[in-house]
Amino acid sequence: MSRPLRLAILGDIHGNLPAFEVVIDDIDRNSPDAVFLLGDLINRCPWTQEVLDIVRQRGWLSVQGNHDLVISLLHTPDCWPVFNERNRFPIVHWTWEQLRPEDIHYLLNLPHDLLIEIDDAPPLRLFHGLPGDPFSGITPAADHSAIAASIAVYDEPVILCGHTHQPLDRTIDGPRVASADGPERNARQRVLNPGSVGVPYNGDPRAHYLLLDLVEENGESSWQPQLRQLDYDRDRLVRAFHTSGQSAASEAVTKLMLRTLEDGLPWISDFPQWLRDQPSKLRSNPESAVDLYLESHGPGQWAFSG
């Protein structure tokens, strides 16, 4: 009996080559028919060019994440002014300096979403965060009504998104649809997030991704997800922060980044949430603010909600 159609879905690599490589090896062993990416390919870890080169060489399609968008617009009239402040976003600027013109062109032209239609399979809709908004996402704590409202623009039965760096598998009541043998009913939509390849926030620092198998149940085709977690060489990652020059660009931000990579908790994203509500003197000098943040924040006391 032949193996069912299989897809691999991964996202939020964030330039973490060692994590990406173990995922690639696992993908190659599992031989999916196609691979799709959910954006945020770059930034936060040192291997910007290497990750982009692999994605393009393999011909894998990706949507655009918020990091891909911000960095591709840096130093252009379309960039948000705040991101041009290097002292506030030193790693964003360091990452931009690693990019080649062809990298910027590639990132800038990634699509917001992808519709995947395969014969005899339920269609899939892929995007990074929320429809029309790559800067926000669907958290595991969100209730069904909030999820339904956030994806109401789409009616595909399977929705795949990233951004939160937390695995998610939820089935909700979707749009009303006509029924052949009765009144209208709510379609069911399955919302999946594979978690992050490079920078997980769910307390599990391993690399995360998703396999989808097309299966037959009661005469109907459906996608069966398999969330996968893979360990990788984090010592190699730590060394690269120093040898690449990224640590020199911001020792304080690197301190937060390494803590996130070690324990799989969202220090690196929570700190900016905290910082934006601080006095301007601290906002303009993140290097002096990290230790102050760490004195009062962490598990059970995060600056962000959800």
Q: State which residues form the domain around 137.
A: 6-230
Give the separation between CA 276 and CA 299, rounded to whole angstroms: 19
- Tens digits of residue pLDDT in 238-291: 999 999 999 999 999 999 999 999 999 999 999 999 998 899 888 888 888 999
Residue 240 lies in a domain: no
**Which amino acid is located at 212 in the chain?**
L
7 strand-pairing partners: 34, 212
- Tens digits of residue pLDDT in 149-184: 999 999 999 999 999 999 999 999 865 555 455 544
What's the number of domains the chain is made of? 1
Whether 10 has a pLDDT exceeding 50, the answer reads yes
Residue 34 lies in a domain: yes
Residue 136: give its domain's CATH number: 3.60.21.10
- HSE at residue 79, side-chain half, CA atoms within 13 A, is 18
Whole-number pLDDT of residue 177: 54
Residue 55 lies in a domain: yes
Whole-number pLDDT of residue 174: 63
Residue 90 lies in a domain: yes
Residue 273 lies in a domain: no
Residue 68 lies in a domain: yes
Residue 255 lies in a domain: no
Average pLDDT over residues 28-46: 98
**Which amino acid is located at 170 in the chain?**
R
Residue 23 lies in a domain: yes
